[in-house]
A and B are shown apart, each in its own frame.
Chain A
């Protein structure tokens, strides 16, 4: 059905934008539109590699398929066994100055794009968004140290991570543990620890915050970021926190908090919303929370549980998350197998709404639909344009995508392979027709190299711009 212009305008006036578009779009559904069929093998593994990392580079889906689901999950989770030397060598060659925010951000984005241990970087990003700190209060060397701490302990138990982060100089500055003294405790850290990191609002009282704050007194951070404890500034009196009374110190507060059953459910929810879907089922939350409690809050056990849930592989989870800018940018470099030194990359990611090492506030990035608005949509498309058409700082070699090492003779072969690399082969028939039209309307026949440089690069841009590609 082709609506007339009058229908179109009437629809707009009567029912607003969404309805007008629904009216306009009564054609056949594209592949996977709200489909409830089980995922294909390629979709499942593409999904796993997007969620456990930043998408699959050329050949990565096939390599993981060969291991089977359990084998692939094992390989991703046991990443300490995977050598990462070529990443470290690549980064060392760049001689970045990690005391500069831009270089620090570039360093991390390149790690995401080129690591052989994608889950390591993905979990580090998860922790950075939960146990936040930011450059607005902590200088780059401290943020780097925190990032290394989170990377090193990304799979550890939650208690270890929480105890470590309370002595992390960047966190100590970010939430004012540094300088909090007996008699006049600063409540900032104690409050956010309970509200945002572990329990959630409603699961503690204002009195718990005031009492717990006393346990974190006595610590200072000097100009070089060295932490020291001054006993005379520490409040070693009795404190009552979450119903338990004692001369609690910082580690005791963590133990008391993690004894609350709600803490396991809270973290399970955070993991599921980050790795699976925006609205995880209560059953999945219960299961992951149980794993956390049974394993002493082992993150390794919990993340393995997450990837083996039926819900993780369900159509409801597929493309249910909006990619963060870091995922969109680093994932694009990775999926296309692009060579770049990443110069200028941090600025482009900032324009998409994510300044790594500097979340907007202590709650981290809100994520989900909040990633997409007029400004960030433009920034994403302009990033895609940069990757596709830069030609110098970003080297796209399409030969690497084809077993023959050469471009196929017709646009269809190019579009379909790119669809596999970027969209698990899910390009709807309507969209495929648009891309083929665009690829073949050049009028005169071009040689393959010139065709790629003009039309082929534009097709890469268009596919990176597709709504589906913005979803993880």
Chain B
């Protein structure tokens, strides 16, 4: 049997230079590297959920447009989209023309639009509403995110620290807490430890020392678990991520945006079989209080094109059936436009669900423009019913356990 010190020494063998490798992951990583092929998640199945957050409150009415409803046109004298410009989904509803990227997904029956999603007594505060969606608790008593149980543990039993990946600088509350159960990745280039350029030969010794210093920082020292998960996730994740990206050639052209780059990275992780269970990416800027038309068009163009590229890439590689994409926003916007050619905070809005196993179509009923609550839409489908569907039919989790009670599921998935 090796003692700890010997184990630490042996840990360095076989690890690429420039990488700080916490001892406890070495065996798992060694296995992964030796195998080199696709590794299925031991207890999570082979399925990936990609969450796309549209931050700021996406205007649902101008995303999925009730293009036959005169009340829509009278509420929005400058912002309404003309019937002939929308991409028709049904006789009543059509997509914003900037979402043309989703036409193929819709035509192939792989896009579900869930209409009128919201909850009782909706909050019009960004932060409260985001919290409610992320914790799946309109009463705001729950601290942990709705996906946190699914991704619990910084690493799965096969040593994949990239089981949950959030793109950006922060961990989304949906994946929190315990904090940093997910790897947070701002960009693959920045996701490695830099050496001393003048003394590259010192790199290994520096990183051994670094590891020993971190090993010496233990509970009850403040934030010990946080430092451990951040450093461990970084160390193992960076090795796997570099490996995946170096060898990945996407089969579609992604837009050069944070969302496009992010979805491409997720495609690489899925393709390399690195155990990605939940990927989380944010597209911000939807808080369109003023001069909404151009901003909103650019945002939706970015969304539709990135999703279209992701879909095409996965389809070309035969991964479509293993990936499900879910979009959400903290609220829709006020039915009537305001005096700044924008819209103020509102309530119910549509969600998109797409993937190879999705049964395309419009679910739920669009909110009734004739039955408003203080100028806002009344919701038709509770967002937790969508979560329950994804938890049960996609992630194999017990929705009642996660959500605290049961919700009717929707027949979104085949």
Residues of A within 8 A of B (CB): 2-6, 8-9, 12-13, 16-18, 20-22, 24-25, 27, 30, 33-34, 136, 176, 179-181, 183-184, 186-188, 191, 195-196, 201, 206, 319-320, 322, 351, 353, 360-363, 366, 369-370, 372-379, 381-382, 385-386, 388-389, 391, 428, 430-431, 434-435, 437-438, 441, 453-455, 457-458, 461-462, 465-468, 470-471
Contacts and interface: CB of A to CB of B under 8 A. Distances in A.
Nearest to A22: B219
Contact of A17 (B125, B232, B339): B232
Contacts of A180: 339-340
Interface in B147-161: 153-155, 157
Given A188-B289, A428-B216, 19 more contacts: A5-B1, A17-B24, A17-B229, A21-B24, A30-B216, A34-B221, A179-B340, A187-B345, A361-B127, A373-B184, A375-B184, A375-B191, A377-B231, A378-B193, A434-B216, A458-B205, A461-B206, A467-B214, A467-B221
Contacts of A18: 219, 224-225, 228
A467 B193 CA distance: 16
A13 B223 CA distance: 22
Contacts of A179: 290, 339-340
Contacts of A9: 24, 27
B340 A467 contact: no
Interface in B321-375: 338-340, 342, 344-345, 374
Most buried by A among B55, B223, B234, B290: B223
Contacts of B171: 370, 373
A434 B212 contact: yes
Contact of A467 (B153, B223, B345): B223
B184 A187 contact: no
Q: Main secondary structure on chain B at its contact with chain A?
A: loop
A379 B223 contact: no
Interface string B202-213: 100110011011
* A-B residue pairs, 5 tightest by C-beta: A184-B339, A25-B218, A34-B220, A373-B184, A353-B169
Contact of A468 (B154, B202, B217, B218): B217
Contacts of B209: 434-435, 437-438, 458, 462
A375 B222 contact: no
Contacts of A188: 289, 344
B2 A431 contact: no
A376 to B, nearest CB: 6
A140 to B, nearest CB: 19
A322 B339 contact: no
B399 interface: no
Contact of A369 (B23, B125, B219, B226): B226
Contacts of A191: 124-125, 345
A374 to B, nearest CB: 4
A180 B25 CA distance: 56
B238 A378 contact: yes
A378 B20 CA distance: 11
B24 A20 contact: yes
A457 B3 contact: no
Contacts of A2: 3-5
B206 A458 contact: yes
B183 interface: yes
Contacts of B195: 385
Contacts of B285: 136
A369 B223 contact: yes
B7 interface: yes
A30 B218 CA distance: 9
Contacts of A388: 196
Nearest to B184: A373
Contact of A12 (B24, B219, B227): B24
A93 to B, nearest CB: 28
B1 A379 contact: no
Contact of B170 (A13, A353, A438): A353
A357 B55 CA distance: 19
B3 to A, nearest CB: 5
B44 interface: no
B338 to A, nearest CB: 5
B202 A454 contact: yes
A415 to B, nearest CB: 12
Nearest to A175: B289
15 contacts: A21-B224, A24-B215, A33-B220, A179-B340, A181-B339, A184-B339, A186-B290, A186-B340, A201-B128, A372-B227, A375-B184, A378-B190, A382-B190, A438-B209, A466-B213
A21 to B, nearest CB: 6
Given A369-B179, A373-B170, A428-B216, A176 B198 contact: no
Contact of B227 (A33, A206, A467): A467
Contacts of B218: 21-22, 24-25, 33
Contacts of A351: 186, 190
Nearest to B192: A378
B284 to A, nearest CB: 8
Nearest to B232: A17
Interface in B1-36: 1-5, 7, 23-24, 27
A11 to B, nearest CB: 9
Contacts of B252: none
The CB with the most chain A CB atoms within 10 A, among B197, B218, B228, B345, is that of B218
B91 interface: no
Nearest to A352: B169
A461 B196 contact: yes
A434 B214 CA distance: 11
Given A6-B1, A361-B126, A462-B209, A374 B183 contact: yes
Contacts of B214: 467
A339 to B, nearest CB: 19
Contact of B185 (A366, A375, A458): A375
A129 B49 CA distance: 33
Contact of A360 (B170, B190, B231): B170
A187 B374 CA distance: 14
A186 B289 contact: yes
A14 to B, nearest CB: 12
A391 B196 CA distance: 10
Contact of B338 (A12, A24, A186, A467): A186
Contacts of A25: 215-216, 218-219
Residue in A6, A21, A24, A466 with the greatest tally of chain B CB atoms within 10 Å: A21
Contacts of B289: 176, 186, 188
A4 B1 contact: yes
A242 to B, nearest CB: 17
Nearest to A439: B209
A16 B153 contact: yes
Nearest to A463: B213
Contacts of B53: none
Nearest to B170: A370
A184 B334 CA distance: 12
A17 B154 contact: yes
A385 B194 contact: yes
B217 A467 contact: yes
Contact of B169 (A196, A201, A375, A457): A375
A372 B222 contact: no
B2 A5 contact: yes
A34 to B, nearest CB: 4
A8 B4 contact: yes
Contacts of A465: 210, 213
A27 B58 CA distance: 53
A369 B149 CA distance: 19
Given A8-B4, A186-B339, A373 B154 contact: no
B153 to A, nearest CB: 6
A4 B190 contact: no
Nearest to A318: B222
